[in-house]
Amino acid sequence: MFDIPPDIEQYILVHTENEDDLLHELYRETHKKVLHPRMLSGHMQGKLLEMLSKLMQPSRILEIGTYTGYSAICLARGLSEGGILHTLEINDELEDFINHYLERSGLNDRITLHIGDALEIIKSLPSPFDLVYIDADKREYPRYLEICKEKLRKGGCILADNVLWDGKIVHPDTNDSHTMGIHRFNEMVKNDHALEQLILPVRDGLMMIRKKE
C-alpha cells in the first residue's frame, strides 16, 4: 500500500463525501473483530467503487472476495433498477457478519452472497456480467481473469484490486506465489488485445479493464 502524505490524505478526505454511519460502523467493527482488516476497501476506495458503479448503472455485478461486505454495499448502490450483485467469499466464518450488514444496508434483496470456492461458483452463475470486481486470492488472479472475461459482456468492465502489490510487482520474486499471481495477471491483461486497461495508484493499485466491443 502506497503512503499518501498525511496532510494530503486529510485534504482528500475533507473534500470527499462523508462516509455514512453504516459504512463507518462496518469499518470500525471489522478492525475490532476480524483478522487482516487491511483487506477492507475503506472510505476512499469504497467511494470510488460506488461512483464507478453509479456511472455505469450495471444490471449484473460479480464480486470475487466479499471479506466483510464493505465493497459489496458500495458497488450495489450503483445497480440499475432490478439489478443484482453476486458476491463470493471463501471464509464461511464471515457469513453471519456479512449478512448482518447487508441486511442493515437495505440492499440485501439485491445482493446474493455465495460462500465457497469462487472458481467453482462462477461457473454456475448466469452471464453476462456488466461489472466484475476482483479482490481475492492473488495466486488465482490469472484464472479469475480467464473465467471472468468469458462471463463479461462486450463493453463491460473488470476492476482488479492490489495490482501494485505494495510495489513487489516491479521486481517480482519468483518464489512468492502471491506476487507472481499478480504479475501474471497484469501481463495477461497487457497482452490481451481484446482488453483495454488503466492502473490507478489508489491504495494498493486498482486496475480498470474494459472488454472491447
Give the whole-angstrom CA distance, residue 145 versus residue 118: 12
Average of pLDDT values for 117-123?
Answer: 96
CA separation (Å) from 66 to 75, 111, 183? 11, 11, 22
Closest CA to 43 of 60, 57, 25: 25
86 Cβ contact partners less than 8 Å away, ≥ 6 residues apart: 60, 61, 62, 63, 112, 114, 125
Cβ atoms of 43 and 73 within 8 Å: the answer is: no
Q: How many CB atoms lie within 10 A of CB 176?
A: 15
CB 127 within 8 A of CB 101: no
Closest C-alpha among 115, 141, 147 to residue 128: 147
- The per-residue pLDDT for 173 is 95
pLDDT tens-place string over residues 47-57: 999 999 999 99
Please give the backbone phi and psi of residue 125, each rounded to the nearest 5 degrees, phi first.
-85, 140
Report residue 2 as a C-alpha cell: 502506497
Q: Is the pLDDT of residue 134 over 70?
A: yes
Helix pair angle (177-190, 141-151), 10° resolution: 40
Neighbours of 127 (CB within 10 A): 14
> What pTM did the predictor assign?
0.96
**pLDDT score, position 184:** 98
Residue 1 — pLDDT band, cuts 50, 70, 90? low
Residue 61 scores a pLDDT above 80: yes
6 vs 10: CA distance, rounded Å: 6
The string of pLDDT tens digits covering residues 23-52 is 999 999 999 999 999 899 999 999 999 999
Over range 106-130, report the average pLDDT. 96
Q: Which three cell numbers stand for residue 25?
A: 460502523
- List, in order of start, the domains of the chain with CATH numbers: 6-211 (3.40.50.150)
Q: How confident is the model at residue 4 (pLDDT cuts 50, 70, 90)?
A: confident
- Rg over CA atoms, the chain: 16
